Amino acid sequence: MENTIVTEQLNENTINIDIASTLDIVKMLNNEDLKIALAVQKELDSIASAVDLISNNFLKGGRLLYFGAGTSGRLGVLDASECPPTFNTPFEMVQGIIAGGDKALRFAIEGAEDSCELARQDFERLNIKAFDTVVSISASGNANYVVEILKLAKEKKVKTIALTSNPSAEIAKIADVSICIETGPEAISGSTRLKAGSAQKMVLNMLSTASMIRIGKVYKNLMVDVKPTNIKLKKRAVAIVSEIAAVSHDIAEKMLEKNSYNVKEAVLQLMYKYSFGKASEILLNNNGILRKALAECSKENF
């Protein structure tokens, strides 16, 4: 297996995992997992470059589009699906596209990762524009689907990012920014749902979270754009407003109930006794960035 992709090579540390005790099996898996964060750390410069590219395009009205097959595609869909409740983004702002469509989230679709035609169909369906950002996710980085997606994006002069575990990946040669997390041979040869998949999940978290921070969807380290769609998130919104406005949870909750749980407006209403309309206007004038809105209000009320 000398010429195979690293994730397909035999891992000498787990060569006898099939005859190990249950405790030793999970120890071996854990020991391999300990290597993931260090591998990600080596690519922080590239990850930061990708975040700058994504956030700059967000500010121009662009979208973040993840493409992948199998595990990589599922991870892209997962990260995208978490953005609306976390940052109150519209559904279309961050999207995950898996080769073979939504059915492929639960079932393996034969040949999907090898299909250039599926890539062309998905690319055309999304009507990808100049300020969108395309991310191809693939442990090997050689699947026809993700390679074709990047080629199509380059033809349209759309900014591209490659996320892979293979330094020789084809997608790494095409993308504007390449992120290669070298996690080494998997505990089970070729099972990239293990270390490679965990590394992809970590990086995708960074890409979306850091980009949202850069465009002002976080104040300090608080989720001020949270969309309170359930009891837990409503409690979180109350705690956030209480913390920033320095009021009790009861007062924060009453204001949020009154203004339909708009967190940032509630902060300005409580701190400066503004009407909802006035608070909304100030936020709009500051691109929805609470820190800038608070600075403006502080000057007005000095």
Active-site positions read: 82, 113
- Segment 269-273 long-range contacts (CB within 8 Å, at least 24 positions apart): 270/241, 270/245, 271/244, 271/245, 271/246, 271/297, 272/297, 272/300, 272/301
HSE-up of residue 201 (Cα within 13 Å, Cβ side):
14
Q: How far apart are the first and last CA of the chain?
A: 71
Q: Distance between alpha carbon 133 and the CA centroid of its chain, in Å?
A: 12
Give the separation between CA 128 and CA 126, rounded to whole angstroms.
Answer: 5
Q: Distance between alpha carbon 259 and the CA centroid of its chain, in Å?
A: 30
Give the separation between CA 95 and CA 104, rounded to whole angstroms.
Answer: 15
Q: Which amino acid is at 136?
A: S
